[in-house]
Amino acid sequence: MEEMNNENAAETVFPSERKAFRTLWLKDLALVMMAAVCLLTALAACGQRKEEMSREQEVAALETEMIDFFQETLERNYGRKDAVDLLAKGMLRYEFNYLLDVDKRRMREINEKLYKGGWLFSYFLEGRNLADSCNVRLFIPKGMKMKDFYQTDAYRRTMEDVERRKAKGAYVNVTVVTDSLRYAMEKAQVKGMTLPFKKQAADGFSYWQRELEKSSHPALKKLRDIEKMVGIPPSSLVWGMLSSNSNNICADFRTNREVQLYLTLYLWNFLCHFANVDFYTGQDRTEAVMEQAKKEQEYIILGVDSDGNVVM
């Protein structure tokens, strides 16, 4: 009888123990799952931080390489790495009819990262506003009247190509000038070039948002404030500051990385120009320039398409 009572008691206690065990097991499972979720979240955050650090390191390395190249170019031409004042005075003195020795091989290597790596338009600049590659320049040969020029096959073929590009949604600006004004126009285009900085990157990762907007240097603050007011600071302002060392912009080029980077970016266009490279595409234009010289006496129409190719 006593044995039967013990068996009944065991049967009575066992279900409650099993329920307690199940409860503990579920709690342990919940803790394990929570720990797994926390671990995955931490790993994802770590991966995101690592990716962000990788982007920051990559763009910082590119900026340093560009600054070093610009300083080496100044030293090659003027004997010192901080001779940005001499470059500015020389270009203004000779009205941009100026020669500069540029290492095209090194520039090509850097441009591979700047252009093909996508940094120029994803980090530094907004789109291709004011780009050479969006312009088609029509030069009327010396001695030819404009009305006769409009009847040439070269003019007709080029305008047909322009219309095809426009139909695909491309922005193309057509400029007609006499051949005698070609040099003046090209010089003005280089001299008056401005930088439309990318200001509203969705993730805040742009030169303007991460670097220029936070700069405390008085010269860069002045340029930044004017850009906020008018959209793009006039090139005359930049060259005026360079020629007069306004706010120590030239003097501080020696040691201030913020100034070094801004002036390197701004003057990269001129380094490209001296090396016959299209600033907005990174394409080498040497062959195009040589071909232009060969056909100087012919009825030519010279333009550059979105890929940096010459349009005849």
Domain count, the chain: 1
The one-letter amino acid at 100: L
Residue 220 domain flag: yes
8 in a domain, yes or no?
Answer: no
81, part of any domain: yes
* HSE-up (13 A, CA, CB side) for residue 163: 6
Contact at 8 Å (CB) between 159 and 301? no
Please state the length of the chain: 312
Of residues 241, 116, 133, the one with CA closest to residue 189: 133
**Within a domain: residue 71?**
yes
Domain boundaries, position 195: 66-311
- Residue 249 resides in a domain: yes
CB 83 within 8 A of CB 251: no
Query: 129: phi > 0 → left, psi -120 to 50 → alpha, else beta; which?
Result: beta
Angle in degrees, CA 213, 261, 70, rounded to 5: 165
Domain assignment of residue 82, yes or no: yes
Classify residue 155: in a domain, yes or no: yes
Digitized pLDDT (tens) for each residue of the chain, 312 residues in all: 545 455 454 445 455 666 665 666 666 666 767 766 666 655 555 455 445 568 999 999 999 999 999 999 999 999 999 999 999 888 888 777 677 888 988 988 898 888 877 898 889 987 654 444 455 667 777 778 888 888 888 788 888 888 887 787 666 667 777 766 666 666 666 666 677 788 888 899 999 999 999 999 999 999 999 888 887 777 888 888 998 999 999 999 999 999 999 999 989 888 887 777 777 667 777 776 666 555 544 444 444 444 444 444
